[in-house]
């Protein structure tokens, strides 16, 4: 009877967890889908109609916003992918290859807005760049009256996005490279008289691409609907569609919820269109003739192109570093007026004041990300265990947890908001943690689940024969084996949660503010010194998380299989 | 017949209420009972937490609110949490949506900093606590309601005791005397200045409230018949009255900072731009803003404020309690503290906020009178004499029209 009872219990648990995860995701969709057709019974509207499409497409400048979103999403993904491959190609087979991971990890760990803020500090007319060449070269004794950023085509938004996505693509490509004998294939290509570049493109890239295709789709969905970076780097007359949705949703017009939901649906269409377009692009590129044609173009004057590409990559890397450094200097500056390249004096006051005033925010930011990441790792372990207990080979529905990553954040959140309004939550922390879980679980799952499932059967059999029960096996055998993945998943979970902006903005409702939200507010209106300090914390905390986890995994994971 | 009696009874009660509130209105210090019921309010409020939704963009204002929160914690054991808002319209939207889903108690907003079109919208949607509560606050005796109509009228809309005056604002401009001799002091002069000094002027992007106020200021200066602005906006009658404003903007916009393709997000971003000398002229609604920024080391001490010759927009800002506030008693106690002489003098102090007090000096004790009269105004703050030219706010219905049209014409066309 015992096993039967446990079997039933496990099944019930699997169904329960599955439901708890799937239902909000479904409602996240329904919550903006139905109102966009004018259906929202709580507000007394229960008739379907297409009026809101008409209304939302007639908002002033909305087509420009849509084009801007399409453009920035597509171009930034393409460029980031291109540069990630070029950088890998040049570092492949050099000694630096072994250090790439160390070098880019901090860049990946930083929140998106940190990079955006760095760009402001560099490129605004009173930024570091003009200070560097003024007044000796330009004659400017005051910031020039030129219009650099945010530019009307969203080029700076693209720049900001690729600075974040290049390291990300490099990281996922690196792990893809480990899965096949890339070096051998590369040498094979070289022995057939191909250049480095063409060996990479013909032989290695397709293999990498197959493995990271999924990630590319996520990046497309993200970049075409990004909110936080748009607020800082996108033009404001008009801004990207994501920002327009946010503005509409918050306006006090009677129909704002319906129009915003409708725009959220349009935002989803945009992602779908981009993904379809990308797939067509894949088809075209993989078509033999066009591929050869492309290779011909790329190998034409390779030397010249090489130089430009390498130069650009170096510049991009320098930009991210310089942006960060200038944010840090601002945090400690006193009296730093144009055109001084360096502040007249440095001070700790701003830092101390900021810390004293924002202690709680810093604490709550770390607390939330810790809790969210912990729950998310635990859920993953429990889920994998339960599924294994039931001896189910493959769960087809597992891909559902990735849906929030493919959906525009703003759309999904509007949907969830309409759903959550049904429960009369008194707490703001609880819904926020639940919502963040939807953005963190996919990462925990993708890192942790495979390593749990790859544990060799023999080890488990040995453990069982030693009289260990399921729980003991999990705690004393499985978890130690996957400890390094567990720690990685925990760290990534914390980093993802820490950098989330839109969910906190929406569900924290001003009552719960995290450092990321605060930094963005400062970027829009605060003093540059405070912004510098906020950025400093945004850099320190993720890096501390990384270091702690690296240290722990060295200490704990002494033995490996 | 039963219905009749009931009807009459209701009528009677209604009339009694009317008389009662009338008495309160005429004699704010009347009614012994008030102290009695205030004790109940204090008792109810003790140990409670309220969420005060207030624009949270300025550090000095935030610190001031933090200080006030600390004081009511000490005095009345009330915890005030400041929810930093970027646009008060969002708060109105939130309360409206709560009303729509019938969340009539335990709303998320307990007290809100508000005025103008946001108040008007809340009032017309019945989103505010409507029991003339402001006259029941003990400290309301310091406000001179009978002589100062602006305390009971918000953009021309009667407040009906639904919002408590908190402070006084007047649009003012500032410039650095080191680089500019005489700043432009009218819409016309400003236009010429902008055209001559390409890229050195801008305003916060409407619907930011300072940005919108700037547009209203220009409209008031240009419109031929100012009385029209007191009326509710009607498209058929008033649309062409706005043409003078659009003409002015058509001429000016290409010469703005970043060619009018981008705007700073609010008046604090403007301060940074003036400090960096990206632009020449700044603007704020707080008359002590320039002085404040000088003492914070943000602006150079050669900066001075000025207003236009015909005067500038002036208004009162208020705090109001939403109808579904989760804790009305504690909100009242906090509002009462905010208009105490102690809180108002601190607010008027340029080293904290510099926002002029709403209480009437004549109604204070000698001790407080002295304190108020010795308060320094700050280096760059205009005197009351300089600020005497005040322009009244247009009817709130104009705001939405101006904002929407501006967004359509200039805010979404690139």
- Per-residue pLDDT band at A392 (split at 50, 70, 90): confident
Query: In the 3-class helix/strand/coil scheme, how is chain B assigned residue by residue?
Result: CHHHHHHHHHHHHHHHHHHHHHHHHHCCCCCCHHHHHHHHHHHHHCCCEEEEEEECCCHHHHHHHHHHHHHHHHHHCCEEEEEEECCHHHHHHHHHHHHHCCCCCCECCCEEEECHHHHHHHHHCCCECCCCHHHHCHHHHHCCCCCCHHHCEECCEECCCCEEEEEEEECEEEEECCCCCCCCCCHHHHHHHHHHCCCCCCCCCCCCHHHHHHHHHHHHHHCCCHHHHHCCCCHHHHHHHHHHHHHHHHHHHHHCHHHHCCCCCCHHHHHHHHHCCCCCCEEECCCCHHHHHHHCCCCCCCEEEECCCCCEEEEEEEEECECCECCHHHHHHHHHHHCCHHHHHHHHCCCCCCCCCCCCHHHCCHHHHHHHHCCCCCCCCCCCCCCCCEECCCCCHHHHHHHHHHHHHCCCCC
pLDDT value, residue B365: 93
Q: Is residue A310 part of a domain?
A: yes
pLDDT at B1 over 50: no
Is A484 touching B (CB cutoff 8 A)?
Answer: no
Note whether A493 and A440 are within 8 A (CB).
yes
- The minimum CA-CA distance between B41 and chain A, rounded to whole Å, is 24
Which residues form the domain of B364?
38-166+316-373
Band of pLDDT at residue A508, cut at 50, 70 and 90: confident
The answer to the question of residue B33 being in a domain is: no
How far is residue B234 from each of residues A308, B238, B247, measured CA to CA in Å? 60, 6, 20
| A289 in contact with chain B, both atoms CB, cutoff 8 A | no
Across A297-311, A470-484, B134-148, B171-185, least confident range: A297-311
Based on the domain organization, do B69 and B160 belong to the same domain? yes
State how far Cα B168 lies from the chain centre.
Answer: 7
Highest mean pLDDT: which range of A126-130, A452-456, B10-14, B117-121: B117-121
A237 closest CB neighbour out of B277, B298, B413: B413
The pLDDT of residue A106 is above 80: yes
- The answer to whether residue B237 is domain-embedded is yes
* For residue A394, pLDDT beyond 60: yes
Please report residues of A whose CB lies closer than 8 A to that of B53: 510
Residue from A35, A149, A510 to probe the interface with B (highest B Cβ count within 10 Å): A510
Asked if the structure places residue A431 within a domain, the reply is: yes
Instruction: Provide the pLDDT for residue B348.
Output: 93
Please compute the mean of the pLDDT values over residues B272-287 and round it to a whole number: 94
Partners of residue B257 in chain A, C-beta under 8 Å: 145
Q: Does residue B24 form part of some domain?
A: no
Closest residue, chain B, to A231 (C-alpha): B265
Query: Min CA distance, B1 vs chain A (Å)?
Result: 37
Residue A56, in any domain of the structure: no
Residue A541's domain comprises: 1-49+348-561
A521 touches chain B (CB under 8 A): yes
Residue of B108, B263, B278 lying closest to A509 (CB–CB): B108
Same domain, yes or no, for A19 and A100? no
Average pLDDT score over chain A = 88
Indicate the residue of A61, A62, A338 with minimum beta-carbon distance to B413: A61
Task: Tell me the C-alpha distance between A447 and A486, whole Å.
Answer: 8
Same domain, B157 and B298: no
From chain B, pick out residues whose CB is under 8 angstroms from the CB of A250.
87, 89-90, 93
Residues B165 and B355: beta-carbon distance below 8 Å? no
pLDDT in tens, A259-281: 999 999 999 999 999 999 999 99
B278–A143 CB contact, under 8 Å: yes
A143, A237, A524 member nearest B265 (Cβ): A524
Residue A1 has pLDDT above 50, yes or no: no
- For chain A, state the CA radius of gyration: 25
In terms of domains, do B322 and B301 share one? Answer: no
Total Cβ atoms within 10 A of residue A158: 25
Chain A residues within 8 A of B128 when measuring between CB atoms: none
Residue B106 shares a structural domain with residue B230 = no
What spatial distance separates the first Cα and last Cα of chain A, rounded to whole Å? 37
Report the b/e string of A425-442 with b at 16+ CB within 10 A.
eeebbebbbbbbbbbbbb
**Rounded Cα distance, A261 and A206, in Å:** 39
What percent of chain A lies above the pLDDT cut of 90? 44
Domain end call among A315, A346, A377? A346
> Does one domain contain both B84 and B201?
no
CB contacts of A243 in chain B (<8 Å) are none
Count CB pairs under 8 A between chains A and B.
Answer: 127
A251 CB within 8 Å of a chain B CB: yes
- Which residue is closest to B105 within chain A, CA to CA? A424
pLDDT for the residue numbered A198: 75
- Residues A285 and A359 both lie in one domain: no
Strand, helix or coil for residue A345: strand
In this structure, is residue B382 part of a structural domain?
Answer: no
In the prediction, which pLDDT does A421 show? 74
Q: For position B270, which CATH number holds? A: 3.40.190.10
In this structure, what token pair is assigned to residue A546? 């990384």
Average pLDDT of the segment spanning A428-434: 91
How close B185 comes to chain A (CA, Å)?
Answer: 23
Q: Do A525 and B57 touch (CB under 8 A)?
A: yes
Q: What's the gap in Å between the CA of B333 and the closest CA on chain A?
A: 21
Confirm whether B103 is domain-assigned: yes
Q: CA-CA distance, A436 to A441, in Å (whole number)?
A: 9
Question: With an 8 Å Cβ cutoff, is A235 touching chain B?
Answer: yes
Q: Which among B63, B118, B278 is the nearest to A126, CB-wise?
A: B278
Same domain, A312 and A270: yes
Distance from CA of A152 to the nearest CA of B (A): 7
pLDDT score of A395 more than 80: no
Q: pLDDT at position B12, please? A: 56
Residue A420 pLDDT > 90, yes or no? no
Nearest Cα residue to B249 out of B314, B203, B208: B203
Q: Is the dihedral of CA B303, B309, B312, B314 positive or negative?
A: positive
> Does any domain span residue A357?
yes
Checking phi first, is residue A111 left (phi over 0); if not, alpha (psi -120 to 50) or beta?
Answer: beta
Residues B187 and B129 in one domain: no
> Which DSSP letter does residue A204 get?
I
Which residues on adjacent β-strands are paired with residue B390? B312
Residue B381 lies in a domain: no
Weakest mean pLDDT among A277-281, A419-423, B298-302: A419-423
The answer as to whether A527 is a domain residue is: yes
Number of domains in chain A: 2
A238 touches chain B (CB under 8 A): yes
pLDDT value of residue B28: 47
pLDDT tens for residues B131-162?
899 999 999 999 999 988 899 999 989 999 99
Contact A43 B100 (CB under 8 A): yes
User: Do A314 and A259 have their domain in common?
Assistant: yes
Residue B121: inside a domain, yes or no? yes
Place of tokens 């998380």: A545
Mean pLDDT of B358-367: 92
CB contacts, 8 Å: A527 with chain B = 59, 268, 272, 298
**What distance in Å separates the CA atoms of residue A29 and residue A23, rounded to the nearest whole number?**
10
Burial A22-44 (b: 16+ CB within 10 A, else e): eebbebbbebbbbbbbbbbeebe
Please give the torsion angle defined by the CA atoms of residues A20, A24, A25 and A29, in that order, rounded to the nearest 10 degrees.
160
Is A111 exposed, middle or buried, given 0-12, 13-18 or 19+ CB atoms closer than 10 A? buried
Please give the pLDDT value at position B16: 55
**Is A54 part of any domain?**
no
Are B159 and B45 members of one domain? yes
User: Do B324 and B368 fall into the same domain?
Assistant: yes
* Domain finish residue from A292, A322, A346: A346
On whether residue A188 sits in a domain, the answer given is: yes
Between chains, do B118 and A252 touch, taking CB under 8 Å as contact? Answer: yes
On chain A, the residues whose CB falls within 8 A of the CB of B93 are 250-252, 256
Instruction: Evaluate whether residue B332 is within a structural domain.
Output: yes
User: Is a pLDDT exceeding 70 seen at residue A561?
Assistant: no
Partners of B325 in the β-ladder? B107
> Within 13 Å of residue A512, how many CA atoms lie on the same side as its CB?
21
Asked if residue B405 and residue B279 are part of one domain, the reply reads: yes
Residues A73 and A191 in one domain: yes
Report the gap between the CA of A48 and the closest CA in chain B (Å): 19
Closest chain A residue to B273, measured at CA: A126
Are residue B158 and residue B56 in the same domain, yes or no? yes
Contact yes or no for B266 and A42 at CB 8 A: no
A100 & A175 share domain: yes
3-state SS of A88-156 is: HHHHCCCHHHHHHHHHHHHHHHCCHHHHHHHHHHHHCCCCHHHHHCCCCCCCCCCCCCCCCCCCCCCHH
Question: Is residue A55 in a domain?
Answer: no
Do A6 and A98 fall into the same domain?
A: no
Q: What is the pLDDT, as a whole number, of residue B30?
A: 46
Q: Is B261–A147 a contact, with Cβ atoms under 8 angstroms apart?
A: yes
Do B281 and B362 have their domain in common?
A: no
Q: Does residue B161 sit in the same domain as residue B181? A: no
- CATH number of the domain to which A225 belongs: 1.10.3720.10
Q: Best of A237, A419, A432 to disrupt the B interface by mutation (most B CBs within 10 Å)?
A: A237
Identify the pLDDT of residue B35. Answer: 58
CB half-sphere exposure, B217, CA atoms < 13 A: 30
* Pairing verdict, β B111-114 and B49-55: parallel
Cβ–Cβ < 8 Å for B230, B175: no
Looking at A312, A346, A380, the residue that finishes a domain is A346
**pLDDT exceeds 90 at position A33:** yes
Under an 8 A CB cutoff, do B261 and A152 touch?
yes
Find the mean pLDDT for residues B81-93: 90
Flag if A424 and B103 touch (Cβ within 8 Å). yes
A507 plus A530 within the same structural domain: yes
Q: Both A458 and A322 in a single domain?
A: no
Q: Are residues A79 and A212 in the same domain?
A: yes
In this structure, the answer to whether residues A69 and A177 fall within a common structural domain is yes
pTM of the model: 0.88
Position A230 pLDDT exceeds 90? yes
Q: Which of A143, A249, A252, A339 to mutate to test the interface with B (most CBs of B within 10 A)?
A: A252
Residue B212 — φ and ψ, nearest 5°? -65, -40
Q: What is the ipTM of this complex?
A: 0.85
Is residue A216 domain-shared with residue A337, that is, in the same domain?
A: yes
Residues B69 and B80 sit within 8 Å (Cβ to Cβ):
yes
Domain count, chain B: 2
Digit-coded pLDDT (tens) for B371-412: 998 888 888 999 889 999 999 999 999 999 999 999 999 998
């Amino acid at each position: 009877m015992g096993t039967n009872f446990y079997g039933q219990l496990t099944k019930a648990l699997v169904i329960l967890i599955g439901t708890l995860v799937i239902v909000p995701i479904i409602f996240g969709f329904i919550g903006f889908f139905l109102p966009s057709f004018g259906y929202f019974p709580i507000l007394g509207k229960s008739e379907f109609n297409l009026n809101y499409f008409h209304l939302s497409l007639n908002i002033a400048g909305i087509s420009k916003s849509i084009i801007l979103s399409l453009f920035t999403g597509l171009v930034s993904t393409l460029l980031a992918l291109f540069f990630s491959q070029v950088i890998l190609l040049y570092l492949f087979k050099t000694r630096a290859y072994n250090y790439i991971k160390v070098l880019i990890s901090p860049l990946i760990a930083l929140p998106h807005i940190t990079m955006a803020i760095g760009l402001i500090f560099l490129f605004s007319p009173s930024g570091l760049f003009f200070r560097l060449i003024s007044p000796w070269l330009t004659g400017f004794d005051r910031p020039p009256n030129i219009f650099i950023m945010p530019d009307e085509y969203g080029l700076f938004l693209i720049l900001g996005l690729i600075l974040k996505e290049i390291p990300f693509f490099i990281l996922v490509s690196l792990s893809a490279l480990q899965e096949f004998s890339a070096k051998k294939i590369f040498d094979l290509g070289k022995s057939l008289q191909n250049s480095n570049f063409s060996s990479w493109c013909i032989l290695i890239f397709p293999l990498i691409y197959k493995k990271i295709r999924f990630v590319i789709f996520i990046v497309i969905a993200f970049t075409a609907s990004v909110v936080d970076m748009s607020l800082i780097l996108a033009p404001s007359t008009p801004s990207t569609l994501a920002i327009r949705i946010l503005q509409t949703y918050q306006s006090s017009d009677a129909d704002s919820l319906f129009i915003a939901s409708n725009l959220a649906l349009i935002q989803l269409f945009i992602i779908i269109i981009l993904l379809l377009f990308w797939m067509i692009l894949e088809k075209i590129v993989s078509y033999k003739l066009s591929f050869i044609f492309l290779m011909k173009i790329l190998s034409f004057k390779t030397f010249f192109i090489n130089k430009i590409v390498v130069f650009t990559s170096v510049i991009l890397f320098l930009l991210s570093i310089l942006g960060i450094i200038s944010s840090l200097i601002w945090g400690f500056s006193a009296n730093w007026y144009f055109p001084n390249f360096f502040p007249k004096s440095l001070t700790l006051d701003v830092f101390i004041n900021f810390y004293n005033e924002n202690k709680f925010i810093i604490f709550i930011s770390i607390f939330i990300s810790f809790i969210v990441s912990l729950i998310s790792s635990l859920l993953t372990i429990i889920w994998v265990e339960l599924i294994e207990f039931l001896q189910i080979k493959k769960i087809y529905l597992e891909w559902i947890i990735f849906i929030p990553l493919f959906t525009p954040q703003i759309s999904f959140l509007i949907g969830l908001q309409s759903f959550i309004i049904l429960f009369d939550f008194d707490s703001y922390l609880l819904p926020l943690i639940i919502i963040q879980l939807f953005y963190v679980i996919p990462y925990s799952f993708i890192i942790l689940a495979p390593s749990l499932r790859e544990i060799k059967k023999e080890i488990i059999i040995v453990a069982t024969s030693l009289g260990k029960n399921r729980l003991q096996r999990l705690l004393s055998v499985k978890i130690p084996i996957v400890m390094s993945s567990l720690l990685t998943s925990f760290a990534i979970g914390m980093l993802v949660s820490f950098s989330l902006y839109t969910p906190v903005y929406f569900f924290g409702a001003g009552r719960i503010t995290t450092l990321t939200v605060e930094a963005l507010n400062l970027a829009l209106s605060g003093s540059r010194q405070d912004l510098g300090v906020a950025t400093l914390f945004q850099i320190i905390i993720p890096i501390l998380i990384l270091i702690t986890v690296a240290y722990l995994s060295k200490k704990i994971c002494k033995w490996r299989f | 017949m039963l219905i009749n009696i009931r009807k009459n009874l209701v009528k009677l009660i209604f009339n009694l209420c009317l008389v009662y509130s009338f008495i309160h209105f005429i004699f704010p210090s009347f009614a012994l009972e008030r102290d009695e019921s205030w004790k109940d309010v204090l008792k109810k409020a003790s140990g409670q937490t309220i969420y005060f939704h207030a624009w949270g963009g300025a550090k000095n204002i935030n610190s001031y609110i933090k200080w006030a929160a600390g004081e009511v914690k000490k005095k009345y054991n009330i915890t005030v949490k400041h929810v930093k808002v970027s646009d008060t319209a969002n708060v109105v939207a939130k309360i409206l949506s709560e009303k729509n889903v019938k969340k009539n108690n335990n709303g998320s907003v307990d007290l809100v900093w508000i005025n103008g079109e946001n108040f008007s919208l809340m009032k017309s949607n019945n989103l505010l606590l409507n029991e003339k509560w402001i006259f029941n606050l003990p400290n309301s005796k310091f406000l001179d309601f009978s002589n100062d109509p602006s305390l009971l009228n918000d953009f021309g809309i009667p407040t009906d005791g639904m919002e408590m005056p908190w402070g006084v604002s007047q649009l003012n401009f500032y410039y650095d005397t080191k680089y500019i001799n005489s700043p432009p002091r009218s819409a016309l002069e400003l236009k010429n200045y902008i055209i001559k000094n390409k890229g050195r002027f801008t305003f916060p992007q409407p619907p930011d409230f300072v940005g919108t106020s700037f547009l209203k200021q220009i409209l008031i200066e240009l419109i031929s018949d100012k009385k029209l602005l007191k009326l509710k906006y009607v498209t058929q009658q008033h649309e062409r009255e706005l043409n003078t404003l659009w003409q002015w903007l058509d001429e000016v916009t290409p010469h703005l900072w970043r060619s009018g393709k981008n705007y700073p997000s609010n008046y604090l971003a403007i301060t940074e731009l003036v400090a960096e000398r990206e632009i020449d002229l700044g603007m704020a609604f707080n008359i002590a803003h320039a002085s404040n920024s000088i003492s914070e080391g943000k602006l150079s001490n050669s900066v001075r404020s000025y207003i236009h010759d015909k005067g500038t927009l002036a208004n009162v800002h208020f705090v109001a309690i939403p109808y579904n506030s989760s804790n009305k008693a504690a909100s009242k106690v906090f509002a009462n503290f905010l208009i105490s002489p102690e809180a108002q003098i601190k607010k008027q102090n340029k080293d904290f906020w510099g926002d002029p007090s709403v209480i009437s000096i004549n109604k204070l004790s000698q001790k407080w009178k002295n304190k108020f009269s010795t308060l320094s105004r700050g280096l760059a703050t205009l005197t009351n004499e300089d600020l005497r030219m005040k322009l009244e706010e247009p009817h709130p219905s104009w705001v939405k029209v101006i904002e929407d049209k501006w967004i359509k014409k200039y805010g979404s066309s690139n």
